[in-house]
């Protein structure tokens, strides 16, 4: 069991005094001291396996030696000069590399930013500039970020939009296929077809498709609870979009860089997205995001429509080049498939044993366990979900949840089978402890999550 002293509690109390609550969703009192590979050590000396990867950022693990080396080497040369005014080699090299590895054998251009929110927002701006249309279609439960534009196209929760008044106009939300809890039919069968009908109805009754600039989507809806639609859904949707000149924006901020067992989750489809937003894992934790899109789209808007002083920072670009090399050299995409398949299999065995596991779903190492009160009603068991995460932390595993009841399984892609087995043992005993009522209700005061 982890041990926490006043060392940790003092920092947390101090933080509550100085930091805005808007910046944090509390899980457990873990103050990071150091991290390496799949492990995080807190300031008390407790060690944890990391099944969160800083929210799908650390695909190459913590402090991969190669990333560490290039960042330190670069830090001795120069820390920053804005690429908006001057050139630097890693910036150009990274743009070239992203064009090479992202889907689409056509002329592309790249623009860098700092966070995923800004990349998603920029993708929308580029689509509007190119098509000269205003309307955008997005999905309920989608998470694209918290800046004004990215929030406007996010349908994650009403809480995140509260008291913001009118956001960006002309955004239309449609349901995302959910094969477990389809909001459009009771049987969950062919949920994606119901969603397509809904989109057709939108175009027939609310907005003409000729006025729609783009549809923005997550190839796997991440924060919405790891929803994996059938490939037919997006293939069919693409046909509708192609007919009406609507651009497809894939938000790969969470799914990119090997997370789902493909370098990019969009590779599952028969079409190539017109614009791809990248972030999170791109630079192994150094701040960076990017938009990669067809050249003609990116040439349709001029400076300074997407220009930020610290975007394309040289340390971040070096870290990103190293990240891509590591993913290729260490076959991390294949590892995501191997370990991910193993985990899904083992979670399904757990599902046979524990009634509270309503559903196991995911791709690669982006896996969700839906915790329910009753398998027939599928009512979310928010308290049990929180308690499972809490007990996992107490026994050496960083495990978070989202969408209230979905355990979020996203370890670094470098994880070995042995490490994965150990982590799954921790999760299994946490579930068993919670089922047996061995985790007190008191913990619910501390763990809030999202």
For the record, the structure tokens of 63 come out as: 């402090």
Nearer to ligand PLP, 367 or 430 (CB): 367
How far apart are CB 160 and ligand PLP at their closest, in Å?
A: 11
Nearest to 316 by CA among 88, 152, 121, 130: 88
Tokens 């995302």 found at = 176
Verify binding: residue 223, ligand PLP, rule CB under 6 A.
Answer: yes
How far apart are CB 390 and ligand PLP at their closest, in Å?
A: 22
How far apart are CB 367 and ligand PLP at their closest, in Å?
A: 15
Residue 321, H or E segment:
helix 314-329
Stretch that binds ligand PLP, among 189-197, 233-241, 247-255, 376-384 (CB under 6 A): 247-255
Which residues, other chains included, contact 124 with Cβ-Cβ below 8 Å and sequence gap of 6+? 136, 149, 150, 153, 168, 213, 214, 216, 249
Which residues, other chains included, contact 86 with Cβ-Cβ below 8 Å and sequence gap of 6+? none
How far apart are CB 268 and ligand PLP at their closest, in Å?
A: 16
Residue number with the smallest Cβ distance to ligand PLP: 116
8 A C-beta contact, residue 83 and residue 311: yes
Tell me the backbone φ, ψ of residue 338, rounded to 5 degrees: -60, -55
8 A C-beta contact, residue 323 and residue 283: yes
Where are the strands (E) in 207-341, listed by range?
A: 212-217, 247-251, 275-278, 289-294
Verify binding: residue 120, ligand PLP, rule CB under 6 A.
Answer: yes
Counting beta carbons within 10 angstroms of the beta carbon of residue 276, is it exposed (0 to 12), middle (13 to 18) or buried (19 or more)? buried
How far apart are CB 400 and ligand PLP at their closest, in Å?
A: 12
Stretch that binds ligand PLP, among 41-49, 72-80, 111-119, 314-322 (CB under 6 A): 111-119
Tell me the backbone φ, ψ of residue 111, rounded to 5 degrees: -135, 135
Verify binding: residue 117, ligand PLP, rule CB under 6 A.
Answer: yes
How far apart are CB 222 and ligand PLP at their closest, in Å?
A: 5
8 A C-beta contact, residue 264 and residue 276: yes
Residue 144 CA to residue 223 CA, distance in Å, equals 9
How far apart are CB 119 and ligand PLP at their closest, in Å?
A: 7
Residue 278 CA to residue 323 CA, distance in Å, equals 14
How far apart are CB 14 and ligand PLP at their closest, in Å?
A: 24
By CB under 6 A, the residues from 44 to 73 that bind ligand PLP are 55
Verify binding: residue 124, ligand PLP, rule CB under 6 A.
Answer: no
Nearest to 432 by CA among 356, 342, 344: 356
Interaction mask 267-296, ligand PLP, x per CB under 6 A: ------------x-----------------
β-pairing, 357-363 with 366-374?
A: antiparallel
Quick one: which of 253, 311, 339, 397 contacts ligand PLP (CB under 6 A)? 253
Residue 380 CA to residue 430 CA, distance in Å, equals 18
Verify binding: residue 251, ligand PLP, rule CB under 6 A.
Answer: yes
Interaction mask 19-48, ligand PLP, x per CB under 6 A: ------------------------------
By CB under 6 A, the residues from 203 to 222 that bind ligand PLP are 218, 222
Residue 366 CA to residue 262 CA, distance in Å, equals 11
Verify binding: residue 311, ligand PLP, rule CB under 6 A.
Answer: no
Quick one: which of 60, 152, 254, 313 contacts ligand PLP (CB under 6 A)? 254
Residue 119, H or E segment:
helix 116-131
How far apart are CB 144 and ligand PLP at their closest, in Å?
A: 5
Interaction mask 130-169, ligand PLP, x per CB under 6 A: -------------xxx------------------------
Tell me the backbone φ, ψ of residue 122, rounded to 5 degrees: -65, -35
How far apart are CB 150 and ligand PLP at their closest, in Å?
A: 6
Interaction mask 361-400, ligand PLP, x per CB under 6 A: ----------------------------------------
β-pairing, 406-409 with 39-42?
A: unpaired
Verify binding: residue 408, ligand PLP, rule CB under 6 A.
Answer: no
How far apart are CB 126 and ligand PLP at their closest, in Å?
A: 16
Nearer to ligand PLP, 209 or 362 (CB): 362
Size of the site for ligand PLP (CB under 6 A): 15
Write out the residues near ligand PLP by the rule CB under 6 A. 55, 115-117, 120, 143-145, 218, 222-223, 251, 253-254, 279
């Amino acid at each position: 069991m982890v041990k926490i002293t006043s060392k940790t509690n003092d920092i947390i109390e101090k933080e509550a005094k100085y930091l805005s609550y808007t910046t944090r969703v509390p899980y457990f009192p873990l103050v990071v001291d150091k991290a390496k590979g799949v492990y995080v050590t807190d300031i008390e000396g407790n060690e944890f396996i990391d099944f969160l990867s800083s929210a799908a950022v650390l695909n190459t693990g913590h402090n991969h030696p190669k990333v560490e080396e290039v960042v330190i080497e670069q830090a001795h040369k120069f820390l920053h000069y804005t690429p908006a005014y001057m050139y630097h080699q890693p910036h150009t090299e990274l743009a070239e590399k992203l064009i090479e590895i992202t889907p689409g054998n056509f002329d592309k251009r790249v623009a860098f930013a700092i966070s995923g929110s800004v990349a998603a927002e920029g993708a929308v701006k580029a689509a509007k500039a190119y098509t000269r249309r205003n309307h955008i279609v997005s999905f309920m439960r989608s998470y694209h970020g918290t800046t004004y534009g990215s929030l406007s196209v996010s349908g994650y929760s009403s809480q995140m939009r509260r008291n913001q008044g009118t956001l960006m106009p002309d955004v239309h939300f449609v349901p995302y296929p959910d094969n477990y809890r389809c909001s459009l039919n009771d049987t969950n069968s062919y949920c994606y077809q119901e969603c397509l009908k809904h989109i057709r109805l939108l175009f027939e009754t609310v907005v003409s498709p000729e006025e729609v600039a783009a549809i923005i989507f997550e190839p796997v809806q991440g924060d919405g609870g790891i929803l994996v639609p059938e490939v037919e859904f997006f293939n069919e949707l693409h046909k509708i979009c192609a007919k009406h000149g609507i651009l497809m924006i894939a938000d790969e901020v969470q799914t990119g860089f090997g997370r789902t067992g493909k370098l990019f989750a969009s590779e599952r489809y028969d079409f190539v997205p017109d614009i791809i937003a990248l972030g999170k894992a791109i630079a192994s934790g150094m701040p960076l995001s990017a938009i990669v899109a067809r050249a003609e789209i990116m040439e349709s808007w001029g400076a300074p429509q997407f220009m930020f002083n610290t975007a394309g920072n040289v340390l971040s670009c070096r870290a990103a080049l190293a990240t891509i090399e590591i993913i290729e050299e260490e076959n991390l995409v294949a590892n995501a498939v191997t370990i991910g398949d193993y985990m899904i299999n083992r979670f399904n065995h757990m599902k046979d044993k524990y009634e509270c596991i309503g559903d196991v779903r995911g791709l690669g190492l982006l896996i969700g366990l839906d915790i329910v009160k009753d398998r027939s009603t599928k009512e979310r068991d928010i308290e049990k979900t929180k308690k499972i995460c809490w007990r996992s932390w107490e026994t050496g595993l960083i495990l978070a949840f989202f969408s209230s009841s979905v355990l979020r399984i996203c370890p670094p892609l470098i994880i070995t089978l042995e490490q994965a087995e150990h982590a799954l043992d921790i999760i299994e005993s946490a579930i068993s402890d919670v089922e047996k009522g061995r985790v007190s209700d008191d913990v619910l005061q501390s763990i809030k999550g999202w």
